[in-house]
Amino acid sequence: MKIGQVIRKRRRDLKMTLETLAANAGTDAAGLSRVERGLQNSTPNGLAAIAEALGTTVATLFAEVEDSEAGVERTGRPLSDEQELLMDYRRLRGTARSLVKLIVSEMAKN
What pLDDT digit, counting tens, does each position of 24-53 carry? 999 999 999 999 999 999 999 999 999 999
Of 1, 21, 16, the residue nearest 62 (C-alpha): 1
- As to burial, measured by CB atoms within 10 angstroms (0-12 exposed, 13-18 middle, 19+ buried), residue 10 is buried
What is the pTM assigned to this prediction? 0.62
CATH number of 3-70: 1.10.260.40
The amino acid at residue 37 is R
For the segment 70-88, what is each residue's pLDDT rounded down to a tens digit? 554 444 444 567 777 888 8
Each domain of the chain, given as residue ranges in start order, spans: 3-70, 80-110
User: Residue 70: what pLDDT?
Assistant: 58
